[in-house]
């Protein structure tokens, strides 16, 4: 139990996927300009991340490893993630239209999000059991959501700030993200 | 052949086949009928996703038009040719789309409206409202820092010398950006043909308005009494004109003690 607690704290704060590991930075800058889109992206990410990394784990353990063709992992994982996101999109549109309207435009974006693939690969590299992998993927996605929503909260305030013209938009967003990363670095060393 | 090659081909082929089958089954089982008209209507719209219609984007607006929730002339930015094209797809008559423009619903200039303190912070109305609710004593009035001017996508607004924004009606498209960025919603979108309005947003009682502004609506109701068409209602100490009933006779203009109610047709 304590192990899982450490795993969660580590994935959310200490080894935050966005700010420390620098995975999935395109949506971090891309959809953080307004709070609404950040929330939608965060929810969609948690959903897809958990699904995709569990599926990838199962495929790795029951197909790739028994056949000793782990070298093909990258290709297989990308195929699984892309297929899965498509499947989820089709099913959501029919089964839960309100959820589809809220997450719909973010789902295709997530297909190419490096965080999803990164977590799937990290699960394997760190030799997690299925349960650990499941918890780890929830926790990383929550960490991603937290960083994304924090940045969106800061960037929403930029509209009233005095920002030099050449720094406006992405440059100031990147600098802010860098500063957030720096402050999260203060937590490195807690846990394992 | 090396078993690795065969295994790889089988595993990846199987995976691809499995996912492909799952996708095509899902596409059949979870098929959602999408009206082809929605695509056709969306093609007619400008595709700028300005949000002026009140929907999330052009495709959203097209869906609402096909469903009958939005009028064929809901696209304000597109102009007449687009309305005709949409109406042709939907097979209905467009109806005359009336142009809408922004009007500034405040007359509290530098000289007529009182200020509580001297604001020297960030020159943006949204920032100014965060400081003790803004420097103007009137909590409904224009702060005059020009957030609407800088945000107007069509350069239709400028800041007048008296501290109030001025709408250039030639350029205004009625998109409503100014109304949404203004922390006090002073610019309001009205039909171009609207003849009369009380240019004030204050819901304060007359006594307070009188003390802090020379030009505000007191909510005295003299205009309501003077109106032969019963087009004026007093809503929480603010006179509101019903543009459908107003004939523009001008009887109310003379009765108003502060001149807040006036003709919009310059």
* Domain with residues B101-192, CATH architecture: 2-Layer Sandwich (3.30)
Token duo for residue B185: 């919603």
pLDDT in tens, A1-47: 778 888 898 899 998 888 888 888 888 887 887 787 788 888 888 88
The answer to whether B16 faces chain A, any CB pair under 8 Å, is yes
Confidence of residue B2 (pLDDT cuts 50, 70, 90): confident
Are residues A160 and B30, on separate chains, in Cβ contact within 8 Å? no
> What's the rounded Cα separation, in Å, for the pair B123 and B139?
18
For residues B76 and B235, what is the distance between their CA atoms, to the nearest angstrom? 28
* pLDDT digits 0-9 by tens, B219-265: 998 999 999 988 999 999 999 999 888 888 888 988 899 989 988 88
Number of alpha carbons in the 13 Å side-chain half-sphere of residue B135:
17
Let me know: does B174 contact B76? Beta carbons within 8 Å: yes
Pick the CATH number of B193-266 from 3.40.50.300, 1.20.120.1770, 3.20.20.140, 3.30.70.20: 3.30.70.20
CA angle (B12, B17, B10) in 5-degree steps:
35
Is A163 within 8 Å of chain B by CB? no
Q: What is the pLDDT of residue A77?
A: 92
pLDDT at B96: 54
Q: A97 versus B129: which is more confidently predicted? A: B129
Q: How far is A83 from chain B (nearest CA, A)?
A: 6
Residue A45 lies in a domain: yes
Taking 3-state DSSP, the helix, strand and coil percentages for chain A, each rounded to the nearest 5, stand at 80, 0, 20
Q: Is the pLDDT of residue B1 over 80?
A: no
Buried b (16+ CB within 10 A) or exposed e, B163-188: bbbebeeeebbbbbbbbebbbbebbb
Spans of chain A, pLDDT less than 70: 102-105, 191-192
The number of distinct structural domains making up chain A is 1
Within an 8 Å CB–CB cutoff, is residue A86 touching chain B? yes
Query: Token pair for residue A166?
Result: 């050449």
Q: Do A95 and B15 touch (CB under 8 A)?
A: no
pLDDT band for position B95 (cuts 50, 70, 90): low
Evaluate whether residue A145 is within a structural domain.
yes
Are domains B36-90 and B101-192 of this chain identical in fold? Answer: no
Q: pLDDT > 90: what percent of chain B?
A: 28
Which domain, by its residues, includes A11?
A: 2-185
Domain B36-90 matching CATH 1.10.10.60: the answer reads no
Residue B48 or residue B233, greater confidence? B233
Interface size, chain A vs chain B, as Cβ–Cβ contacts under 8 Å:
59
Beta-bridge partners for B197: B262
ipTM value, please give it: 0.74
| B15 interfacial to chain A (CB closer than 8 Å) | yes
**What are B133-187's pLDDT values in tens digits?**
888 999 999 999 999 998 888 889 999 989 899 999 888 888 888 888 899 999 9
Which among B12, B19, B126 has the least Cβ separation from residue A75? B12
Instruction: Give the up-direction half-sphere exposure of residue A115: CA atoms within 13 A in the CB hemisphere.
Output: 37
Whole-number Å distance between alpha carbons of B132 and B135: 7
Asked whether residue A190 is domain-assigned, the answer is no
Note whether residue A191 is domain-resident: no
| Mean of pLDDT values over B66-81 | 76
A95 touches B at CB < 8 Å: yes
Q: Where are the domains of chain B?
A: 1-30, 36-90, 101-192, 193-266
pTM value > 0.90? no
Structure tokens at B30: 């979870």
């Amino acid at each position: 139990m304590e192990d899982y607690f450490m795993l969660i704290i580590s994935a959310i704060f200490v080894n935050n996927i966005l700010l420390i590991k620098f995975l999935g930075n395109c949506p971090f800058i891309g959809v953080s300009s307004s709070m609404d889109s950040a929330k939608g992206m965060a929810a969609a990410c948690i959903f897809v991340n958990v699904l995709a990394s569990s599926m990838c784990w199962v495929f790795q353990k029951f197909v790739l490893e028994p056949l000793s063709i782990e070298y093909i992992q990258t290709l297989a994982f990308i195929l699984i993630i892309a297929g899965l996101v498509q499947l989820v999109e089709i099913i959501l549109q029919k089964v839960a239209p309100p959820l589809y309207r809220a997450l719909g435009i973010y789902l295709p974006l997530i297909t190419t999000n490096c965080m999803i693939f990164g977590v799937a690969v990290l699960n394997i590299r760190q030799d997690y059991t299925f349960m650990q992998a499941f918890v780890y993927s929830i926790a990383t996605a929550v960490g991603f959501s937290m960083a994304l929503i924090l940045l969106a909260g800061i960037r929403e305030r930029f509209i009233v700030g005095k920002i030099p013209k050449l720094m406006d938009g992405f440059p100031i967003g990147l600098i802010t993200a860098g500063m957030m990363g720096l402050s999260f670095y203060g937590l490195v060393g807690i846990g394992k | 052949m090396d078993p690795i090659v065969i295994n790889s081909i089988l595993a990846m082929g199987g995976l691809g086949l499995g996912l492909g089958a799952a996708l095509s089954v899902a596409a059949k089982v979870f098929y959602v009928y999408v009206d082809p008209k929605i695509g056709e209507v969306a093609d007619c719209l400008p595709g700028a996703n300005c949000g002026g219609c009140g929907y999330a984007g052009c495709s959203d607006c097209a869906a609402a038009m096909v469903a009958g929730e939005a009028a064929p002339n809901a696209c304000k930015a597109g102009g007449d040719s687009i309305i005709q094209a949409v109406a042709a797809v939907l097979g209905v008559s467009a109806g005359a789309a009336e142009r809408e423009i922004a009007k500034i619903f405040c007359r509290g200039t530098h000289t007529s409206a009182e200020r509580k303190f001297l604001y020297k912070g960030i020159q943006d109305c949204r920032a100014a409202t965060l400081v003790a609710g803004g420097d103007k004593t009137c909590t409904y009035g224009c702060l005059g820092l020009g957030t609407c001017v800088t945000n107007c996508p069509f350069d239709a607004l400028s800041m007048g010398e008296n501290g109030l924004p001025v709408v250039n009606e030639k350029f205004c498209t009625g998109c409503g950006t100014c109304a949404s960025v203004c922390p006090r919603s002073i610019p309001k979108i009205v039909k171009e043909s609207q003849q009369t309005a009380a240019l004030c947003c204050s819901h304060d009682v007359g006594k307070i308005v009188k003390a802090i502004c020379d030009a505000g609506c007191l909510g005295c109701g003299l205009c309501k009494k003077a109106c032969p068409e019963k087009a004026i209602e007093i809503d929480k100490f603010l006179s509101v004109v019903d543009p459908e009933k107003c004939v523009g006779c001008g009887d109310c203009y003379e009765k108003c003690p502060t001149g807040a109610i006036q003709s919009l047709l310059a």
